[in-house]
Chain A
Amino acid sequence: QKEVEQNSGPLSVPEGAIASLNCTYSDRGSQSFFWYRQYSGKSPELIMSIYSNGDKEDGRFTAQLNKASQYVSLLIRDSQPSDSATYLCAVCTNAGKSTFGDGTTLTVKP
């Protein structure tokens, strides 16, 4: 079992729809959770951090964390073609060990 699991996709949604990206992790000691966006040929960029159970909203992005279920998700509202990218989930334990998932490729079709 991988430490951080994501559906590889590709996930395809029409423009304007909600894209839902999911991630599960195995280490119950994980305390910090991140979503990164990586455009093809570019390096990843941080888009969301979440540390507590519940929802965290930033513009069109909402991160959701459920530590009991070891589940973190990213919702993208009003998806735009420019959101087409690979989304990486990352978790970090209190000891500072970071693990990335393999990423989910999202395509937003005009």
Chain B
Amino acid sequence: GAVVSQHPSWVICKSGTSVKIECRSLDFQATTMFWYRQFPKQSLMLMATSNEGSKATYEQGVEKDKFLINHASLTLSTLTVTSAHPEDSSFYICSVRRESSYEQYFGPGTRLTVT
């Protein structure tokens, strides 16, 4: 397996503010990390693929100016939700992929509540 950490595990913020979520790969260097969002009782939704040293690749319908992704090193990717609104309240999960096997290992998730 692999250990992936996310911080914070939960956050409550006011509408209009920005929130940064960190994802760290603790066991290996990850050139590729993924960011997912999951609403209650719904399936995982891939938001973007984070590539170390280059711009993230966003899925269709995901606003790149609202969800800023920075993959600054081989062990750290950050997701910043800018000008958050209540509809952004969700469970945000990152994952890292081991390139030799394509296995993905997920962080514990960050529960965001925007009031």
Contacts and interface: CB of A to CB of B under 8 A. Distances in A.
B12 interface: no
Q: Helix, strand, loop or mixed for chain A's interface?
A: strand
Contacts of A102: 43
Contacts of B34: 98
A43 B93 contact: yes
B72 interface: no
A88 interface: yes
Contacts of B43: 88, 100-103
B103 interface: yes
A17 interface: no
Contacts of A70: none
Given A46-B1, A103-B43, A96 B102 contact: yes
B113 interface: no
A6 B32 CA distance: 26
A107 to B, nearest CB: 14
Interface of A: 32, 34, 36, 42-46, 49, 88, 90, 92, 96, 98, 100-103
> 3 nearest interchain CB pairs?
A102-B43, A43-B106, A92-B102
19 contacts: A34-B103, A36-B106, A42-B108, A43-B106, A43-B108, A43-B109, A44-B106, A45-B106, A88-B43, A88-B44, A96-B99, A96-B102, A98-B34, A98-B97, A98-B102, A98-B104, A100-B43, A100-B44, A101-B43
